[in-house]
């Protein structure tokens, strides 16, 4: 996803919502309204929800599309993905870990998906189910692409004379 889309979806939308809440509450030039603080906190809460819960991953025929809430990214083609693995990071407190999916790309790099995401000593059942669904879809699309390539290769007319 391009950086401007990541900024807009991940940080920009909550910032705009917070700015609107502060303006509505009268904290930006003007007298304060009686409902200013509740409105500001409600809009701030909506911004936080977008930032943390607005992450999406969509499986499309052409690849994995991921983004934030209203900003869908360009899909990463299935053919560019060489592997999908589960990665974890140990948190500082309580021994809990954060669990993510990493897409390993043919260029040698890896890309962490924003969702599914889990926190705990072990990944949740829902996380494991989402991982399996993504992995199976990737394998199906790769097999389909390979069979199409073999079919097209066998359909080429012979150039021998």
Give per-residue pLDDT as tens, 47-67.
Answer: 677 666 667 788 888 888 877
**pLDDT(17) > 80:** no
Helical packing angle, 13-24 and 36-53, nearest 10° = 180
| Count of domains observed in the chain | 1
Residue 123 lies in a domain: yes
Q: How many CA atoms lie within 13 A of 46 on its CB side?
A: 13
Residue 6 lies in a domain: no
Residue 48 lies in a domain: no
pLDDT higher for 149 or 62?
Answer: 62
Residue 64 lies in a domain: no
**pLDDT(133) > 80:** yes
**pLDDT(104) > 90:** yes
Classify 81 in phi/psi space as left (phi over 0), alpha (psi -120 to 50) or beta.
Answer: beta
Give the domain range for residue 136: 77-155
pTM: 0.59
Residue 36 lies in a domain: no
């Amino acid at each position: 996803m391009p950086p401007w889309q990541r900024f807009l979806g991940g940080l920009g939308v909550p910032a705009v919502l917070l700015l609107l809440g502060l303006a509505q509450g009268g904290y930006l030039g003007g007298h304060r309204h009686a409902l200013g603080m509740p409105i500001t906190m409600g809009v701030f809460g909506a911004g936080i929800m977008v930032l943390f819960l607005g992450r999406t991953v969509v499986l499309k025929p052409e690849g994995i599309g991921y983004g934030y809430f209203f900003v869908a990214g360009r899909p990463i083609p299935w053919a560019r993905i060489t592997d999908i693995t589960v990665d974890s990071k140990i948190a500082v407190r309580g021994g809990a870990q954060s669990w993510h999916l990493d897409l390993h790309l043919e260029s040698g790099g890896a890309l962490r998906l924003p969702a599914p995401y889990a926190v705990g000593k072990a990944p949740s059942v829902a996380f494991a189910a989402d991982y399996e669904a993504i992995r199976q879809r990737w394998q199906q699309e790769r097999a389909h692409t390979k069979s199409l390539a073999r079919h097209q290769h066998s359909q080429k007319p012979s150039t021998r004379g």
